[in-house]
């Protein structure tokens, strides 16, 4: 059973195998398309696959209850929504510019290199983050049936983050589809109050899951939200998205000066709708 530092290794071994299989299958498909950016489509599905594995093993042992089912439901809704949105957004578009840079940097033989540089790497990160879910599914049936304040609070923050991220994604996608002036910046709706409201919503999702798992008394629940915070703030999120963006969008520098980076707040001056 779960504890402060204890993790069920059987859960982790099976989920690792499942995630690596999904990564390799997606890589094979990417070689046919010559587009490695499809790895983004499976990011949330990797987490969903890991959680589904833990749920299955918990059910086999007869210890899956309302708490585990609640976590599984939240991950299913989040994972399928995000994967579908990214597929719609990327439909009929060339390989994402981020991956074009990686392709150029690692040529020749990038097709093979992408297997471990991109696909196995992302699957490994998703697997490491998935350890935060293990304690929830490794509880006794008595604990699974004991719904607490922490479960309600975590689910509420998850729901807020899920809705916030979904609305932000929809606003940006609609803006880009209707964009008349190339290089313009979306600064209305949720994007008026922070430059990356979708990332803010995503962080709420992961920290909501962390709070949901507090009754497990496990420190492992901190791994996923801490890693996700680092990824979005320092690694592949804000820093990567805004690198060189002022060259592509002349009005973005003014947007930076007047709008919070991540946490929503009142703009420093009135933003004129585009």
Q: Which of 111, 127, 146 is the last residue of a domain?
A: 146
What distance in Å separates the CA atoms of residue 99 and residue 118, rounded to the nearest whole number?
A: 9
Question: Do 222 and 88 lie in a common domain?
Answer: no
Question: Do 264 and 140 lie in a common domain?
Answer: no
Q: Which of 93, 111, 146 is the last residue of a domain?
A: 146
Question: Do 46 and 153 lie in a common domain?
Answer: no
What distance in Å separates the CA atoms of residue 193 and residue 38, rounded to the nearest whole number?
A: 30
Cβ–Cβ under 8 Å, residues 223 and 131: yes
Burial of 123 (0-12, 13-18, 19+ CB in 10 A): buried
Question: Do 135 and 157 lie in a common domain?
Answer: no
Question: In 3D, which of 45, 41, 122 has the Cα closest to residue 77?
Answer: 45
Cβ–Cβ under 8 Å, residues 137 and 57: yes
Question: Do 82 and 169 lie in a common domain?
Answer: no
Q: What is the pTM for the complete model shown?
A: 0.90
What distance in Å separates the CA atoms of residue 186 and residue 130, rounded to the nearest whole number?
A: 33
Angle at 37 between CA 36 and CA 39, to 5 degrees: 85
Q: Give pLDDT, residue 273.
A: 47
Question: Do 169 and 271 lie in a common domain?
Answer: yes
The parts of the chain modelled with pLDDT lower than 70 are: 1-5, 179-183, 269-274
Question: Do 10 and 133 lie in a common domain?
Answer: yes
What distance in Å separates the CA atoms of residue 122 and residue 26, rounded to the nearest whole number?
A: 12
CA 130 to mean position of chain CA atoms:
12
Per-residue pLDDT of 185-206, as tens digits, reads 888 999 999 999 999 999 999 9
Q: Give pLDDT, residue 5.
A: 60
Domain count, the chain: 2
Dihedrals φ, ψ of 160, to 5°?
-60, -50
Per-residue pLDDT of 120-141, as tens digits, reads 999 999 999 999 999 999 999 9
Angle at 38 between CA 207 and CA 132, to 5 degrees: 25
What distance in Å separates the CA atoms of residue 271 and residue 246, rounded to the nearest whole number?
A: 18
Expressed as residue numbers, the domain containing 15 is 1-146
Chain position carrying tokens 């939240």: 74
Q: Which of 80, 112, 146 is the last residue of a domain?
A: 146
Q: Give pLDDT, residue 65.
A: 95
Enumerate residues 6+ apart whose C-beta is below 8 A from 216: 2, 135, 136, 139, 143
What distance in Å separates the CA atoms of residue 254 and residue 246, rounded to the nearest whole number?
A: 9
Question: Do 159 and 207 lie in a common domain?
Answer: yes
Question: Do 16 and 132 lie in a common domain?
Answer: yes
Q: What is the DSSP letter of 259?
A: S
Q: Give pLDDT, residue 271.
A: 47
Question: Do 15 and 116 lie in a common domain?
Answer: yes
Asked, as a colleague might, if the bond just before 108 is cis with ω within 30 of 0, I would say: yes
Question: Do 76 and 112 lie in a common domain?
Answer: yes
Question: Do 112 and 246 lie in a common domain?
Answer: no
Question: In 3D, which of 194, 181, 209, 174 has the Cα closest to residue 85?
Answer: 174
Query: What secondary structure does DSSP assign to 246-268, as a single string?
Result: HHH-TTHHHHHHHS-SSS----S
Q: Give pLDDT, residue 94.
A: 86
Q: What is the DSSP letter of 5?
A: S
Q: Give pLDDT, residue 272.
A: 47
């Amino acid at each position: 059973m779960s504890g402060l530092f204890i993790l069920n290794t059987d859960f982790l071994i099976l989920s690792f195998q499942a995630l690596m299989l999904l990564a390799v299958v997606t890589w094979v498909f990417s070689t046919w398309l010559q587009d490695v950016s499809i790895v983004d489509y499976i990011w949330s599905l990797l987490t969903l696959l890991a959680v589904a594995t833990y749920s299955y093993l918990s059910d086999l042992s007869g210890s899956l209850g309302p708490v585990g089912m609640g976590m599984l439901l939240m991950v299913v809704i989040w994972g399928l929504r995000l994967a579908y949105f990214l597929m719609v957004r990327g439909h009929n578009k060339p390989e994402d510019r981020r991956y074009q840079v990686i392709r150029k940097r690692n040529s020749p033989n990038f097709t093979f290199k992408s297997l471990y540089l991109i696909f196995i790497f992302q699957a490994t990160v998703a697997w490491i983050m998935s350890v935060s879910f293990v304690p929830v599914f490794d509880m006794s049936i008595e604990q699974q049936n004991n719904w607490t304040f922490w479960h309600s609070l975590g689910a509420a923050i998850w729901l807020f983050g899920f809705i916030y991220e979904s609305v932000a994604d929809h606003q940006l996608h609609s803006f880009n589809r209707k964009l008349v002036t190339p290089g313009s910046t979306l600064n209305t709706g949720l994007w008026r109050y922070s430059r990356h409201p979708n990332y803010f919503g995503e962080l709420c999702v992961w920290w909501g899951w962390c709070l949901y798992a507090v009754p497990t008394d496990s420190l492992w629940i901190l791994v996923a939200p801490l890693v996700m915070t680092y990824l979005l703030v320092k690694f592949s999120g804000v820093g990567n998205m805004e690198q060189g963006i002022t060259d592509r969008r002349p009005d973005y520098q003014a947007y930076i000066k007047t709008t919070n980076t991540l946490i929503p707040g009142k703009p420093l001056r009135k933003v004129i709708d585009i």
